[in-house]
């Protein structure tokens, strides 16, 4: 029987959903109107107002807070709005429907957002901080793509709009959803990342390719039937397992193991809205109690980053969130009548149902909308459509429960809601305590530069046109560390291995270079493709100059037009030269400087990177020095001008810094949104006072040569234009000493750098005697001293 009044026991601040609405349009259909995002969202809001059972203006007048789900156009620093957009979307929509909210909020990126925001603002209502909230989300991806396509001949509309007013923009909050390593190896798109997870699950279950494709198709075929009956679906067509999984011209492989029809469909024009009020406000407005739906249980949990998960095929936080939400609701999974599990890719569903024991063919069904590949994936807002559907169902079926599982990132963020028309008090959850337990789990160590024998842990291949495509491999080195690598585009042996029925578990060999890690079928295949080349000097270089003078090597960065900034080719040449220097027994000291009188080096060539050039840095770091593990012979930095950013980091990696009186030093990375990650954050506080180092790092403050000398950053200053003369003088002084003693001293200082106990560190340096007592140079030094003659060093 429909309810006509709320139970008297309910707290007036109890949150209750009183209205839901959806709106959509499909390209090419007779009623297609090319609606903007704000206009489509306004339609969904009007539908939600009408769904309350009372006049829309009365509801609009009560809305205190408007909360928007972030669109894909503003979900990352790389996203954009090609047609423009209002400067304050929540208030643009409010203006269209007659709302004047006190507060406007724009949520963070992620498919968990609709449920997470609803939970949050239901809590705000329960706490008495607000009494009526509108949540909305909208995407016009299909329209935007149509209007910006080359085939579109009409005039592009300008959807920009100046609205102004207060807005609480919470930003992207996408930290941890990807990493520099994943970006370096092209594992950036969700489709590729989920494919890696999916393939890991396939291997864990022992499924062959065909069997697993059938399993994915059998999971999603019932979704298509639901989508076919949903008027808001982007693809309202029922499909068989074979139609979903067989590779055809219209259902190509988009990333192994996915065909196009198995992944979220982003060509949608869809919007949804939800009105939540307090019981007191609902009663005051006269909203019938048979429109009320209560949030009985909820949970919000975060999973470990993908690369840190011990098992790539599992993300246990999702199932834990479902279980906790059911506990808050005080019901069991068997009590749930309606389910909607976020379904951007098959593994997103499997990750929830596997540990909970839900069968893929559960008679309740696993979607209320038709799922993201078929109903459509409206950016971050999909689950608001699911919430609208579950509200409709639990209103009709008395005493029923609906469960919404919303997912964001790479199974990274899970928000769960349990809904029912049965009245209940607001129930807080203990997600924070459960999150602390999940956070305490071990995380797998990762290797940035991977070299050696390894085992494939998972993979995916992105097909290319008339070429093998891009292959991404995640693996484990024999010590257990995880790495990510690519396959060279013409390595047919590796592509053939990955095309096999189950390449996971295969033994391979990985090699690191300036462009990242590359994986090969075995060590011999790696050597055949990359023969070992002994370190040595070339006759000429394009971006540097070298000069040998006896035991001294002089290296000049020759890019004065770019303030001697380092790009990929310059880094590669410097790395090669220093490999040769450290391998040549006849070279005992090196000097590094920059061409001209303006700059030693301005660090990374940001202009080249911004122009699309790859950020290719050798394993040994900038200039082949900043990450070099064993610098067994001294390198002197002759700073002839600016030493900024990576340039200062290169100088800090050298053993001695001498400077022109006009030189200046700084780490300005924070001023361009970067950080001094090539050693500056470590070496500068070790070289000068930590207080001054923090000042320089956090503000970009520069030191002139005199200040640098006072701070202990440089050891000597030369008159203007004479820094190389000073550097050669220092080199001569070093060369006058025993090269064996110099090298042993460098090694000993490096070995004890991390020993906090000074006495223990001193004891550790005594091991240098083992080298010195067996050295000809030691005998020669003592003999020459006794004989009152200059020593004749041999370097051994």
pLDDT for the residue numbered 766: 81
Strands 589-594, 467-477: pairing kind: unpaired
CA dist 631 to 634, 746, 747, Å?
Answer: 7, 8, 8
| C-alpha torsion angle, residues 501, 507, 513, 518 (rounded to 10) | -10
Q: What is the pLDDT of residue 2?
A: 39
Closest CA to 376 of 141, 177, 107: 141
Is position 649 annotated as part of the catalytic site?
A: yes
Q: What is the token pair recorded at 627?
A: 């990450």
Residue 342: both structure tokens together:
């976020």
pLDDT reported for residue 749: 85
- Residue pair 718/656 in contact (Cβ under 8 Å)? The answer is no
If phi > 0 it is left, if psi is from -120 to 50 it is alpha, else beta; for residue 194 that is: alpha
With contact defined as beta carbons under 8 Å apart, do 69 and 386 qualify? no
Q: Could you write out the DSSP letters of every residue in 132-164? A: EEEEEEEEEHHHHHHHTSTT--SPPP---B---
Contacts of 678 (CB under 8 A, 6+ apart): 617, 621, 622, 626, 627, 646, 649, 650
Q: How many helices (H) and strands (E) does the chain have?
A: 27, 27
Provide the mean pLDDT of the chain: 94
CA triple 571-576-579, angle to 5 deg:
125
Tokens of 294: 């209560």
Helices 209-228 and 190-205 cross at an angle (nearest 10°) of: 120
HEC assignment per residue over 259-278: EHHHCCCCCCEEEEEEEEEE
pLDDT beneath 50, residues of the chain = 1-5, 612-613
The residue from 246, 488, 669, 780 that is catalytic is 669
CB-based contact 95:87 (threshold 8 Å): no
DSSP assignment letter at 624: G
Sorted by where each begins, the domain ranges of the chain are 15-150+159-181+260-439, 452-529, 544-735, 739-787
The predicted structure's pLDDT at residue 630: 86
How far is it, in rounded angstroms, from Cα 437 to Cα 324?
A: 13
Query: What is residue 72's three-state secondary structure?
Result: helix
Of 536, 531, 534, the C-alpha closest to 546 is 536
CB-CB neighbours of 721 under 10 Å: 12
The answer to whether 26 and 34 are in contact (CB under 8 A) is no
* Alpha carbons 153 and 96: distance in angstroms, whole number: 29
Q: Tell me the per-residue pLDDT of 217-253, one tens digit each, with 9 for 90 and over.
A: 999 999 999 999 999 999 999 999 999 999 999 999 9
CA-based nearest residue to 60, from 111, 96, 85, 28 = 96
The token pair at 677 is 């990650």
What's the farthest any 2 CA atoms get from each other in the chain?
A: 114
For 608-762, where are the E strands, in sequence order? 635-639, 642-644, 656-660, 664-666, 702-704, 716-718
Distance CA 523, CA 545 (A): 35
- Position 612 scores a pLDDT of 47
Give pLDDT, residue 774. Answer: 75
What is the number of other CB atoms lying within 10 angstroms of the CB of residue 157?
12
Angle at 771 between CA 770 and CA 775, to 5 degrees: 125
Question: Can you read off the two tokens belonging to residue 65?
Answer: 């807070």
Residue with token string 């259902």: 251
Which residues are paired to 104 by β-bridges? 66
Torsion on CA atoms 758, 760, 765, 766, rounded to nearest 10: 130
Kindly name the residue from 153, 649, 722, 780 that is annotated as catalytic.
649
The phi and psi torsions of 270 (rounded to 5 degrees) equal -145, 145
Residue with tokens 């920059």: 594
Vertex 742 angle, CA 736 and 745, to 5°: 150
Q: Which residue has the tokens 């013409």?
A: 490
Task: Mention the CATH class of domain 15-150+159-181+260-439.
Answer: alpha beta
| Rounded distance between C-alpha atoms, residue 552 and residue 483, angstroms | 39
Q: Is 68 helix (H, G, I), strand (E, B) or coil?
A: strand
3-class SS of residue 354: helix
Q: What SS3 string covers 388-403?
A: HHHHHHHHHCCCCCEE
669 classed as catalytic: yes
Task: For tokens 């864990």, name the residue.
Answer: 204
| Three-state SS at 437 | helix
Q: What string of H, E and C letters represents the secondary structure of 580-619?
A: HHHHCCCCCEEEEEECCCCEEECCECHHHHHCCCCCCCCC
CA dist., res. 700 & res. 693, Å (int)? 10
Q: Phi first, then psi: give them for residue 420, nearest 5 degrees.
A: -160, 155
Residue 390 token pair: 């579950």
Residues 571/646, Cβ–Cβ less than 8 Å: no
DSSP secondary structure of 77-126 = TT---TT--BSSHHHHHHHHHT---SEEEE--SSTTHHHHHHHHHHHHHH
CA distance 362 to 365: 6
Separation in Å, CA 422 to CA 6, 54, 290, 425: 10, 21, 10, 10
Rounded-to-integer distance, Cα 311 and Cα 703, Å: 48
**Residue 1: what pLDDT?**
32
SS3 312: coil
Which residue bears the tokens 């500056």? 680
Is there a contact between 375 and 234 (Cβ–Cβ < 8 Å)? yes
Q: Does domain 452-529 have CATH number 2.40.50.840?
A: yes
How far from 120 is each of 394, 412, 437, CA to CA, in Å? Answer: 21, 19, 22
CATH architecture of residue range(s) 544-735: Alpha-Beta Complex (3.90)
Distances (CA, A) of 373 to 47, 226, 318, 376: 25, 12, 20, 5
Rounded Cα distance, 422 and 659, in Å: 77
* Residue 195 near residue 257 (C-beta atoms within 8 A): yes
- Two tokens, residue 160: 């920009």
Cis preceding-peptide flag for 453 (omega within 30 of 0) = no
Residue pair 110/409 in contact by the 8 Å Cβ criterion: yes
């Amino acid at each position: 029987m429909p309810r006509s009044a709320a139970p008297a026991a309910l707290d007036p601040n109890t949150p209750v959903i009183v209205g839901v609405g959806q709106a959509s349009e499909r390209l090419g259909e007779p009623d297609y109107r090319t609606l903007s995002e704000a206009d489509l969202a306004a339609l969904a809001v009007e539908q939600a107002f009408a769904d309350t059972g009372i006049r829309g203006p009365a509801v609009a007048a009560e809305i205190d807070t408007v909360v928007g789900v972030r669109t894909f156009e503003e979900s990352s620093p790389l996203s954009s709005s090609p047609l423009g957009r209002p400067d304050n979307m929540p208030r643009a929509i409010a203006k269209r429907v007659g709302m004047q909210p006190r507060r406007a909020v724009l949520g963070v990126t992620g498919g968990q957002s609709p449920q997470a925001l609803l939970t949050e603002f239901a809590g705000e209502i329960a706490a008495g901080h607000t009494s009526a909230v509108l949540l909305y989300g909208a995407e016009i991806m299909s329209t935007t793509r149509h209007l910006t396509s080359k085939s579109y001949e009409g005039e592009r509309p300008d959807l920009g709009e100046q609205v102004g007013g207060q807005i609480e923009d919470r930003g992207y909050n996408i930290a941890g959803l990807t990493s520099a390593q994943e970006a370096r190896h092209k594992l950036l798109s969700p489709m590729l990342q989920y494919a890696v997870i999916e393939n890991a699950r396939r291997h864990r279950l022992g499924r062959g390719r065909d069997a697993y494709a059938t399993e994915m198709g059998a999971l999603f075929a019932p979704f298509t039937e639901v989508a076919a009956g949903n008027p808001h679906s982007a693809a309202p067509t029922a499909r068989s397992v074979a139609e979903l999984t067989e590779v055809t011209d219209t259902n190509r492989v988009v990333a192994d193991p996915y065909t196009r029809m198995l992944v979220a469909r982003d060509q949608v024009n869809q919007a949804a809205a939800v009105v939540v009020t307090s019981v007191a406000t609902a009663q005051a407005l006269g909203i019938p109690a048979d429109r009320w739906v209560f949030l009985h249980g909820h949970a919000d949990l975060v999973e470990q980053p993908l690369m840190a998960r011990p098992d790539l095929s599992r993300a246990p936080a999702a199932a834990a969130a479902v279980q906790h939400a059911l506990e808050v609701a005080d019901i069991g999974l068997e009590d749930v009548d309606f389910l909607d599990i976020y379904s951007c890719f098959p593994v997103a569903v499997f990750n929830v149902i596997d540990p909970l024991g839900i069968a893929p063919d559960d008679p309740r069904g696993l979607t209320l909308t038709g799922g993201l590949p078929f109903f459509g994936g409206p950016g971050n807002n999909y689950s608001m459509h699911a919430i609208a559907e579950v509200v409709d169902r639990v209103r009709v079926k008395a005493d029923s429960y609906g469960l919404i599982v919303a997912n964001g990132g790479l199974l990274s963020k899970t928000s769960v809601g349990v809904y029912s028309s049965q009245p209940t008090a607001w129930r807080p959850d203990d997600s924070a305590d459960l999150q602390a337990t999940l956070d305490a789990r071990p995380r797998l160590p990762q290797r940035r530069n991977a070299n050696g024998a390894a085992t494939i842990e998972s993979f995916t291949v992105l097909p290319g046109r008339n070429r093998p495509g891009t292959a991404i491999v995640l693996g484990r080195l024999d010590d257990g560390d995880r790495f990510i690598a690519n396959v060279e585009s013409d390595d047919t042996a590796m592509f053939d291995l990955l095309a096999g029925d189950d390449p996971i578990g295969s033994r391979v060999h990985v090699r690191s270079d300036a462009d990242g890690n590359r994986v090969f079928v075995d060590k011999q295949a790696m050597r055949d493709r990359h023969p070992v080349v002994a370190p040595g000097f070339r006759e000429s270089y394009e971006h540097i100059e070298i000069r040998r003078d006896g035991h001294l090597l002089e290296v000049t960065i020759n890019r004065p037009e770019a303030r001697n900034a380092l790009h990929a080719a310059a880094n590669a040449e410097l790395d090669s030269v220093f490999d040769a220097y450290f391998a040549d027994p006849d070279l005992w000291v090196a000097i590094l400087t920059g061409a001209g009188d303006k700059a030693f080096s301005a660090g990374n060539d940001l202009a080249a990177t911004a122009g699309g050039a790859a950020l290719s840095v050798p394993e040994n770091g900038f200039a082949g020095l900043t990450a070099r593990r064993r610098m067994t012979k001294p390198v002197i930095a002759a700073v002839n001008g600016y030493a900024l950013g990576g340039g200062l980091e290169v100088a800090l990696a050298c053993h001695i810094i001498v400077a022109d009186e006009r030189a200046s030093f700084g780490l300005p990375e924070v001023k361009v949104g970067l950080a001094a990650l090539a050693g500056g954050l470590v070496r500068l506080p070790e070289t000068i006072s930590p207080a001054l180092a923090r000042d320089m790092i956090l503000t970009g403050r520069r030191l002139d040569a005199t200040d640098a000398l006072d701070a202990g950053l440089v050891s000597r200053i030369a008159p203007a234009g004479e820094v190389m003369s000073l550097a050669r003088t220092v080199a001569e002084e070093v060369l006058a000493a025993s090269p064996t003693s110099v090298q042993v001293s460098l090694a000993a200082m490096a070995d004890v750098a991390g020993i906090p106990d000074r006495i223990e560190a001193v004891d550790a340096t005594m091991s240098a005697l083992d080298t010195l007592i067996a050295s000809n140079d030691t005998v020669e030094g003592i003999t020459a001293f006794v004989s009152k003659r200059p020593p004749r060093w041999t370097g051994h």
